[in-house]
Structure 1
Amino acid sequence: MCGISVSIRLDRRQTGRGTAAASQETRAKLETLLSKSLDLIAHRGPDAKGIWINDDASVGHINDLTPSGTQPHHSADGHIHAVVNGEIYDEGDALRTRLATEHGYVFHSHADTELVLALYSTYGAPRFLDHLRGEFSLVLYDDRDGGRLIAARDRFGIKPLFWTIVQDKDGEEGGGERLLIAAEAKAFLALGWEPEWDVGAIVEGVWQAGERTLFKGVQKVLPACWMEVGRDGQMVQRRYWDMEYRDKREREARSVEEMALGVREKLTEAIRLRLRADVPVGIYLSGGLDSSLVAGITTHLVREEGIRIGNRDATSRICCFTIEFPGEGHFDESGIAERTASHLGVQILKKRMDEATLADNFADSAYHCEHHNFDLNSVGKFCLSTVPRENGFKVVLTGEGSDEHFTGYPFFVPDFLREPDLAMPDTELSRDSELREKLQEKVREAFRALMRSGAGMFRHEVDTETFRAVNDVSVLGWASAFQPSLHMFAPWVRETWAGVNVPLAEINEMPAEAKEKIRNKWHPVHSSQYLWSRSMLANNLLTCLGDRTEMAHSIEARPPFLDHVLSDYLNALPPSVKLAFTPEMEDSDRSGGLPWAGTRNFITELFTDKWILREAGKPYITKELYERKKQPYMAPNRWPKDGPLHNKLREICTRDAVEKLGFVDWEVVRQALDAAFGEGADGVSFRVLLVVGAWVTLSKRFGIKRAELGN
């Protein structure tokens, strides 16, 4: 686990412009500022700090796992300098062995950062990135030929990396601009950044689909991309990898048994790699299939194959962590998590989330996430991450990414039914087009009615013409339900963005090559998986339910389902083995406050989500889990009037605080404070308060300038 902060003169064509004394003074100032920047993200690695500075660039890093990983790391000739955030896996030291024997590289440590330096020195950019497997963000500065900077992120965006440009007020004569790069935007606050809202990115929803963020001028290095900054300050961002799916016209030749075995083998390998660490490794265990399967396979590897779980051997007890929400039903899965732990014979530690705890941690969670969220589940994850840290764990395995790979969400069903699965022409829905089309219309109408009703979500008009650019794939229409609707914004915002088309704005952020494959090559459900993974997963879920809420407590999470080797295998599977048509199977009743309540019942009566994963995981899970349908991780959204949450949001969302945002309609917030709690509570009003409460928190803690028309 670690954090990155970098400051570099953007235009480096002129160097050595000042006196030696001036240069020394500038370096001292930069070191002080960079140290303060690292302090703002010290939670990402509070045990060590390293800074390297020359006349053009300053690179800072904090880490927490092992002294051998102290960074920045420097090449043997002193010309290349690197920082790496996250974890890179080298099975059996195969990469190191090849670099040493075939290319003559001499390693001086076992640090991931030196492996990155060795790969870059051997293959150059971007080819060195092809060899990296894991969850990472990194920055390389090559000072040869005037200085070349490279910044990159892992393929799914598990680890964050942001950049912005500021005026160099403390530099040498002539000033100029400086490029700042960091693991979190808050690190920029010590380096001259003066935050402003990017109202357009917020209203259009593109912050969760492309490079932009909630903050004007702060952008992301996108997942699976690398950014190069030349000596002249020119910046170019390119993609080094992307998800690829099977051609929808290609018939599947493998048996179901072969495919299930392949899933089992690839997932087991991904988990085995992520058990390697110099510290204890635990597991986040919910009541779902994904984390339960991770726990089951881990238990098998440790007990049957003698694999070490972090720095502990097979005699150590495996430890899992779960969350308990108040009340019974679909929100609290701690009961089934405990039954799974008992079946596996592993230890389980619980974090009970009552209303007061959610209220007390709401603002801190928003501050660490650096964006608003639709639900209180992020606050739950924020609090859960205190438990492993309190019990001596710094690394946990998680189940994120499984739903995206195995079509685990109900809103994938309409796109699954859009076309026959020609890879498996003998399945019932491929043979019977009339049945498939009838089911498709029933499902789509149910979702249309759901979107019209609100049902606790934000309401958006969905223009069907929008989706022609992506072969009528509808998943981004569903994703818009997570995007605040125009009604809650100030009048000048509503006027400026009248008729905003959130799905279209998000579609426009997608790579042109991918949209071409969506139109002509991929099955609609695979296209749906791609669009969701490149938007909501990367920019929302992996932040507020992943890195940011985990690293707030110095916890490094490793999601084996987002291993790109596993992903490549899964993306070549036919749609019909991921989402199976199983009308003969019984389903337990699902109703209540979930976003798709009322729609989910008949969908789960007809389909089994993640079917091939269930088959692959049979040896490691209970019958209860094998038969259980997907339950999303969400917090309760109905709470009493005048309770801790109601009072906390009243305290945060005052008229003065809301009006200081500049882009929110106070009257909407006032009405929401009256309507969101107690008997007959309105779900949309509750979402309004969660979103605005996060914005107010960020505004105060970051010191964000009030948004106004024209700024």
Structure 2
Amino acid sequence: MCGITVSIALSSGKVPSQASDHVNGRDIDEKTAISHNGHSDQHASLRDKLNRSLDLIAHRGPDSKGVWISENGAVGLAHNRLSINDLSADGDQPIHSDDGQIHAVVNGEIYDHDRIRDEFMREHGYHFKSRADTEVVVALYKHYGAPKFLEHLRGEFALVLYDEGLGKVIAARDRFGIKPLFYTRVRDDQGERLLLAAEAKAFLALDWKAEWDVGAIVDGGWQHDNRTLFSGVLKVLPGHWMEVTLEGGHVQEHRYWDLEYKDKRDVETRPVEEMIRGVREHLTEAIRLRLRADVPVGIYLSGGIDSSLVAGIVTHLVREQGVKLGNRDATSRVCCFSIEFPRESGFDESDIAERTAKWLGVQILKKRMDEATLAESFADSVYHCEHHNFDLNSVGKFVLSTVPREHGYKVVLTGEGADEHFAGYPFFPADFLGEADYSMPDSPLTKDNTLREALQHKALANLDETLFHARRLGFFSHGSWKEDCEAFRAVNNVRMPLGAQMSQPTLESLFAPWVQQRYAGVNCPMVAVAALSPESRHKITNKWHPLHASEYIWSKSLLANNILSCLGDRTEMAHSIEARPPFLDHVLSDYVNGLPPSLKVGYTPEKTKTICTGEEDNQDPWWEGVDVIRTAFTEKWILREAGKPFITQELYERKKHPYTAPNRWPKNGPVHRMLQTICAREKVENLGFVNYNAIKNALDTGFGDDADALAFRGLLLTASWVTLSERFGIEQAQAAK
């Protein structure tokens, strides 16, 4: 685990600038001449810049740092280390191949590295310097080349390596985008340089000046394609690799992996019990691999089934099979970390987490998350995330990540990814009902299209009422799920392009007049569709069941660009915590994606008769009003069955509650005062693209017992932009740009 910064000298040409140009590996750059000036003063200048860049992201790796610069000064690799495997200096980076021709920096974790190391020593005579997992990356590359070596990497990673023999730089990001990797282009005294880093703030020491990408903010594209909030700063997309050829300066980006699902016309012949057992075995193996470390390993535990199942399987592996929990043996107590919101808010799950911990016999350490703590931590959380968020849940995760470090932990296991693979969110059933599940012809909904269509109509009506028109939650503000629109038609009437626009504000609700004029008619759901590759759109239309298409779109948008950032890597690494999400093991996901949709969203026919009675269980603000989904369907059905031996009956029966923070706070309380300070007139107007009158109104209507949730979430977005503008030194956005 680490923070990385890379500098590659360019004298002319361009780097990739549009996500649509990346997908098929087309040559994006003009001919680019690479500078080969190796003067010592230039080396010293570059080394100084790289060191200062590392200081800006020292939180990602406080244990050591290193810089390597090629002899001709064309390539500079810099690295902050968070030591997890092989704590000795032998594991420091940058790392080099045994023949000294390949140099690399790796951010993340490579699992099963012991097996790979043994195989290469035995069969290829490779000489390893360390026992660190990252060193297998250069060995695999040396043997297989790019992109073949990436197929052998199981884990989460962002990496950059320089092959001196071929004169190429290779950069790659893991399959789901768990680890970040950004790039941009700058000009210094020696010409143009291509920069890559784990966080955009690292570029500030490398002659980069931050500017807003107002278009990416307005149309929500930063959540779907390769753009960020910063103009000219792009992401290496999940499952992609970049190739920079120094002679001629060609830069290409290719895809090496993508999510795949079974053909919706293929009839499933495996017994259901066999598939339940398959999920259990694959998940257990994914968790077992993630317990390997030379430091203690803990668990983030919420009140949901995902993290509780991880905790249950970990406890089973440690006690029943004697598996070591990091560097601790089976006699050590499993330690979990949880967050506690105010109980009166309706968003607190800590009591359920505590009951789970007691049932498992594990230790639980809770972090009280009161209003004052959230207000005090907001700005720091935003600075580390480098993007806005519509909820304070990211601030809660930011503060929670202080607890493992306080108790001597560097590694935690988490539950991210389960909802995407097993259809856990309440809007997935609407797409599940979009077509019959022909892989299971005996299913009641496959036999009765009239019933299925009636249920879908009711599901869409529920979602429309609860998530859009009700201002209680304020998650969505872009139209209706029931309406026919271009985005739905483009993806076989899957509704997820709209769901993926979580709290994307409408033009008239927040933005300045010139922004409203310039971006009039912007179609945010179509931005989500346009970010999809032609291959995936073809499969969505012709091959995949709508539920799987919905999972795919969500995984490529909100999961990769929001959840795994502000609820994952960025808030965890802010406190030097490596989080390992076993549900995002690609071997597990490949298996789960081959399962029938009807095993992910379980249908209970006998409960259908209660759908229109008006009887609702309103204990959960997320599910309030979603009667057809709550009563007739069970989300993550097969995961519940696979995990039943490891969780309490309470969790087995409990409905999904997404991790969200309270969105209703008192007037003149800590959160209100914090937002009043950050969103002062001068600061908001300095952004250049926000209408202060809308913010002034939101500060009046977004708090108290009758608070407007959309107004409150608009304040969170604006306060995030103000915070970033101040800490990154961003000048006011101008209408002329």
Partner of 1:658: 684
Change (3 A) 1:82 1:503: same
Question: CA deviation digits over 1:427-470, x for unaligned, max 9?
Answer: 11111111101001111122233424444234213562222221
Partner of 2:213: 198
Matching residue's letter, 1:110: R
Partner of 1:525: 547
TM alignment of 1:107-146, pairs within 5 A: 107-145=128-166
Partner of 2:463: 447
Question: CA deviation digits over 1:560-600, x for unaligned, max 9?
Answer: 0000000000000000001001254699965378456322x
> Cα offset for 1:113?
2.5
> 2: CA distance between counterparts of 1:292 and 1:591?
23
> Cα offset for 1:616?
0.4
> 2: CA distance between counterparts of 1:329 and 1:523?
38
* Aligned with residue 717 of structure 2, among 683, 691, 694: 691
TM alignment of 1:633-672, pairs within 5 A: 633-672=659-698
Deviates more, 1:60-69 or 1:558-567: 60-69
Matching residue's letter, 1:3: G
Matching residue's letter, 1:126: P
Q: Does 1:500 align with 2:522?
A: yes
- How large is the RMSD of aligned CA atoms in angstroms? 1.6
2:129 is paired with a residue whose SS is: coil
Q: Does 1:548 align with 2:563?
A: no
Q: Residue 160 of structure 2 contacts residue 170 of structure 2 at CA under 8 Å; is this kept in 1? A: yes
Partner of 2:583: 561
Partner of 1:225: 240
Matching residue's letter, 2:262: R
* Aligned with residue 401 of structure 2, among 385, 393, 397: 385
* Aligned with residue 229 of structure 2, among 210, 214, 217: 214
Q: Residue 471 of structure 2 contacts residue 708 of structure 2 at CA under 8 Å; is this kept in 1? A: no
Q: Residue 109 of structure 2 contacts residue 134 of structure 2 at CA under 8 Å; is this kept in 1? A: no
2:477 is paired with a residue whose SS is: coil
Q: Does 1:24 align with 2:46?
A: no
> Cα offset for 1:14?
5.4
Change (3 A) 1:622 1:247: same
* Aligned with residue 61 of structure 1, among 79, 98, 103: 79
Matching residue's letter, 1:317: R
TM-score where L is the length of structure 2: 0.93
Partner of 1:181: 196
Partner of 1:154: 174
Partner of 1:607: 633
Matching residue's letter, 2:206: L
TM-score where L is the length of structure 1: 0.96
> 2: CA distance between counterparts of 1:353 and 1:413?
32
> Cα offset for 1:401?
0.2
1:112 is paired with a residue whose SS is: coil
> Cα offset for 1:392?
0.3
Q: Residue 84 of structure 1 contacts residue 112 of structure 1 at CA under 8 Å; is this kept in 2? A: no
> 1: CA distance between counterparts of 2:345 and 2:446?
36
TM alignment of 1:63-78, pairs within 5 A: 63-65=81-83, 66-67=87-88, 68-78=90-100
Q: Does 1:100 align with 2:100?
A: no
> Cα offset for 1:13?
4.2
> Cα offset for 1:502?
0.5
Matching residue's letter, 1:441: H
Question: CA deviation digits over 1:673-692, x for unaligned, max 9?
Answer: 00011121110110011000
* Aligned with residue 421 of structure 1, among 424, 434, 437: 437
Change (3 A) 1:258 1:501: same
> Cα offset for 1:80?
1.1
* Aligned with residue 304 of structure 2, among 274, 279, 288: 288
Q: Does 1:340 align with 2:362?
A: no
2:427 is paired with a residue whose SS is: helix
Partner of 1:85: 107
Matching residue's letter, 2:182: F
Question: CA deviation digits over 1:246-281, x for unaligned, max 9?
Answer: 100001111110000000000000000000001000
Partner of 2:328: 312
Q: Residue 338 of structure 2 contacts residue 350 of structure 2 at CA under 8 Å; is this kept in 1? A: yes
Deviates more, 1:584-593 or 1:372-381: 584-593
Partner of 2:625: 598
Q: Residue 271 of structure 1 contacts residue 560 of structure 1 at CA under 8 Å; is this kept in 2? A: yes
Matching residue's letter, 2:532: M
> 2: CA distance between counterparts of 1:311 and 1:583?
49
TM alignment of 1:367-386, pairs within 5 A: 367-386=383-402
> 2: CA distance between counterparts of 1:437 and 1:355?
44
Question: CA deviation digits over 1:152-183, x for unaligned, max 9?
Answer: 011000000000000023x3xxxx21011000
Q: Residue 88 of structure 1 contacts residue 134 of structure 1 at CA under 8 Å; is this kept in 2? A: yes
Question: CA deviation digits over 1:189-229, x for unaligned, max 9?
Answer: 00000000000011111101111000000000000000111
Structure 1: unaligned runs, 5 residues or longer? none
2:343 is paired with a residue whose SS is: coil
Question: CA deviation digits over 1:267-317, x for unaligned, max 9?
Answer: 000000000001000000000000000000000000000000000000001
> 2: CA distance between counterparts of 1:268 and 1:639?
41
Deviates more, 1:377-386 or 1:227-236: 227-236
Q: Residue 616 of structure 2 contacts residue 625 of structure 2 at CA under 8 Å; is this kept in 1? A: no
Change (3 A) 1:639 1:282: same
> 2: CA distance between counterparts of 1:77 and 1:701?
43
TM alignment of 1:40-51, pairs within 5 A: 40-51=56-67
Matching residue's letter, 2:528: E
> 2: CA distance between counterparts of 1:279 and 1:430?
50
Deviates more, 1:609-618 or 1:451-460: 451-460
Question: CA deviation digits over 1:322-356, x for unaligned, max 9?
Answer: 00000246410000000000000000000000000
Q: Residue 109 of structure 2 contacts residue 133 of structure 2 at CA under 8 Å; is this kept in 1? A: yes
Q: Residue 182 of structure 2 contacts residue 198 of structure 2 at CA under 8 Å; is this kept in 1? A: yes
Partner of 1:573: 595
> Cα offset for 1:94?
2.6
> 1: CA distance between counterparts of 2:604 and 2:469?
29
> Cα offset for 1:104?
3.0
Matching residue's letter, 1:358: L
Change (3 A) 1:16 1:521: closer
Deviates more, 1:410-419 or 1:224-233: 224-233
Deviates more, 1:323-332 or 1:530-539: 323-332
Change (3 A) 1:658 1:525: same
Q: Residue 185 of structure 2 contacts residue 194 of structure 2 at CA under 8 Å; is this kept in 1? A: yes
2:501 is paired with a residue whose SS is: helix
> Cα offset for 1:74?
1.0
Q: Residue 41 of structure 1 contacts residue 184 of structure 1 at CA under 8 Å; is this kept in 2? A: yes
Partner of 2:6: 6
Deviates more, 1:61-70 or 1:220-229: 61-70
Structure 2: unaligned runs, 5 residues or longer? 12-31
Q: Residue 2 of structure 1 contacts residue 64 of structure 1 at CA under 8 Å; is this kept in 2? A: yes
Question: CA deviation digits over 1:586-623, x for unaligned, max 9?
Answer: 99965378456322x33111100100011101111111
Q: Residue 418 of structure 1 contacts residue 524 of structure 1 at CA under 8 Å; is this kept in 2? A: yes
Partner of 1:457: 475
